[in-house]
Structure 1
Amino acid sequence: MTQAETDAFEKVSSGVYIEGLAIDHERDLIWYSDVIAGGIHGVKPDGTKVATLNPERMWTGGVAMNADGSVLSTGQGGIMWNNPDTGKSGWLLQEIDGKPINGINELMPDGMGGLFFGTNDIEMVIEGKAPRPTQLYRLSVEGELTKLADGLGFTNGIMFDATRQRFYCNDTFHGTWAFDVAADLSLSNRRMVIEKEDADGMCLDAEGNLWVTGFRSNFFTRLTTEGIRLPDYPTPGGSITQLRFGGADMRDIYFNSVPADGGDTLKDGGEIKAGDSFLFRGRSETPGLKLEPTRFQLR
């Protein structure tokens, strides 16, 4: 990618530390979270502000769409939902095995109405201490919860490919795991496909290539389904927490940029105040994989 193409990215919105990201195809909006300033913020592709949900809630690492238009969001205490049209909100999940949830980071629709998600140790993150091991789960559309994997260092970006045969999960300070997916959506054969000490968000393009962001990296790391490393995709950001494809042709790229040292500041328990985190938009020659919404019955 040339410097001119990199410069073609434009800033859409800003915050303190922008993290979760979802494309609302029905409303043609982008929803993103700010883990420090709080809230989930909805903007149009031109940056026009539309709404802010859960303005006081911090540490939302994942955002996704439900079929009724509700916005799902993770963080302390579990998974919440907000319907921007009705103003109603509630909790989708607050307990695991009868115990209150410490934290949930990223989530991904499972293609059958439910979702995959990874836990995180928000308690230790807030204190700037090493997090305890985390897990991967699936929540079916009927509300059945299944543990899929355990003993991960720090679950982050997750993706489920279009063939429903491969599942990916970032383990933040180690790299990207791939799993085989069975017919019942259980996971097996875990193997490391990218070693990366700042693995954060991820997305898939229409060709099945994996795009991985890094909280110390100003580029996308890309990998084919055969495990071949593609050229890195540079951006004008400091570091990148998450990316998603959108637009009518699925060739718009939206990504969240944070200060180059922002992730390490949070990891060490430091404080971030400056509003130099940005939502960027650019274009890709390859369209992205369109994510299906979940289909939970929310009341």
Structure 2
Amino acid sequence: MPEAQALGFEVVAEGFAFIESPRVMANGDLWFSDLNGGGVYRKRKGCAVETMLPGRQWVGGMVFDESGAVLCGGKGGIVALDPVSGATIPVLSELEGVPIIAVNDMEGDGRGGFFAGTIDFVSIMEKGEPPSPGSFFHVSAEGKVTVLRRDVFASNGIATSPCGNWLYHSETSRGIWRYRLGADGLPGAGTLLVEEEDSDGLAVDSEGNLWLACWSSSRLMQYAPDGTALQALTLPYTHIVSVAFDPTNRHRLFVATGGNDSAPKAGAVVSIQVKVPGLPGPQTRLEALSNWTNRAK
């Protein structure tokens, strides 16, 4: 498929190492992390970027909770951040009795819980080796943890179809998996819908089309619900890493980019306008956070 340059994009934040997990609150606040440089950040309209969780390493995913807390993945698992006080509490630090190396992308399930995946960033970032297999898992609103897969090369973007019947999961080195969701909200056996070796972040629009960040080829792909490629867009950045729709303007798609040794500060968040409105991810409603004091209102 021929590629086209994305036109008219707006730079929202720049000058970071490798931006991940862009998320937009209902009030328009943009949140993101710097995977390699560390930290979680917030960009309010008309304001400079604020550091909200300094130094946290390898944050590849974030989800907003109805309590006002922000769930942040990263090294050692998941923590909840209170944006008002800056306090954090642990949410998940092990799976099946084994300490978590790192949690990458996360997504609300629409029932108060969330899906997430682990990733071996120690091998990838520190040893320069292929990662050990990671897990794809679900945490219910009540805190029940269900491991769905234990053979994921590198877990990335997660999204649900507009009809609520399908769950999509991006696995780097493979592509996009599609799972039928059962009455309990959990997926059955998956099929590989799209083969894309450098698949990364993922989002879905209101027509069920899939927007996929392809990190090494620096493309932004759009696929129809049946997996047919619809368009390929490029941006003048070294890597295209993750995507998220703006709940205040669903025709606005935020795209996170990353740098490397040749372009060490190429991490940015840009926005583009798309024709079909998107589906921002749902918030969680974790019972463990319902009574947490000093949280944002």
Compute the TM-score of the two structures, normalised by the length of structure 1.
0.89
Does residue 1:140 correspond to 2:130, yes or no?
no
Shift of 1:250: 0.9
With over 3 angstroms needed to count, the CA separation of the structure-2 counterparts of 1:235 and 1:50, relative to structure 1, is closer
Question: What does residue 266 of structure 1 align with?
Answer: none
Question: What does residue 240 of structure 2 align with?
Answer: 240
Question: What does residue 115 of structure 1 align with?
Answer: 114
> Structure 1 residues 272-281 or 189-198, which shifts more?
272-281
Question: What does residue 226 of structure 1 align with?
Answer: 226
1:181-192 alignment, distance < 5 Å: 181-192=181-192
1:243-282 alignment, distance < 5 Å: 243-259=243-259, 262=260, 274-282=264-272
**Distance (whole Å) between structure 2 residues aligned to residue 66 and residue 164 of structure 1:** 20
Alpha-carbon deviations, 1:134-162, whole Å to 9, x = none? 11110001000001123121111111223
Q: How many residues align?
A: 286
Gaps in structure 2 of 5+ consecutive residues:
293-297
Identity %: 28
Question: What does residue 194 of structure 1 align with?
Answer: 194
With over 3 angstroms needed to count, the CA separation of the structure-2 counterparts of 1:2 and 1:137, relative to structure 1, is closer
Shift of 1:286: 1.1
**Distance (whole Å) between structure 2 residues aligned to residue 291 and residue 227 of structure 1:** 21
**Distance (whole Å) between structure 2 residues aligned to residue 129 and residue 184 of structure 1:** 38
Alpha-carbon deviations, 1:212-252, whole Å to 9, x = none? 11112333212111232212233343321001110523111
**Distance (whole Å) between structure 1 residues aligned to residue 71 and residue 276 of structure 2:** 27
Match of 1:286 among 259, 273, 276: 276
With over 3 angstroms needed to count, the CA separation of the structure-2 counterparts of 1:162 and 1:151, relative to structure 1, is same
CA contact (8 A) 1:32 1:41 kept: yes
Shift of 1:2: 10
Gaps in structure 1 of 5+ consecutive residues:
263-270
Alpha-carbon deviations, 1:77-118, whole Å to 9, x = none? 100111112332111111212232111111010100010001
**Distance (whole Å) between structure 2 residues aligned to residue 253 and residue 108 of structure 1:** 17
> Structure 1 residues 5-14 or 115-124, which shifts more?
5-14
Question: What does residue 88 of structure 2 align with?
Answer: 89
**Distance (whole Å) between structure 1 residues aligned to residue 11 and residue 186 of structure 2:** 39
Higher RCO (CA 8 Å, separation ≥ 6 residues):
2
CA contact (8 A) 2:193 2:226 kept: no
CA contact (8 A) 2:3 2:232 kept: no
Match of 2:131, SS state, is coil
CA contact (8 A) 1:9 1:236 kept: no
Question: What does residue 61 of structure 2 align with?
Answer: 62
Question: What does residue 73 of structure 2 align with?
Answer: 74
**Distance (whole Å) between structure 2 residues aligned to residue 7 and residue 225 of structure 1:** 25
Alpha-carbon deviations, 1:176-231, whole Å to 9, x = none? 11111111122223111111111110100111101111112333212111232212
Question: What does residue 37 of structure 1 align with?
Answer: 37
Question: What does residue 10 of structure 1 align with?
Answer: 10
**Distance (whole Å) between structure 2 residues aligned to residue 167 and residue 63 of structure 1:** 18
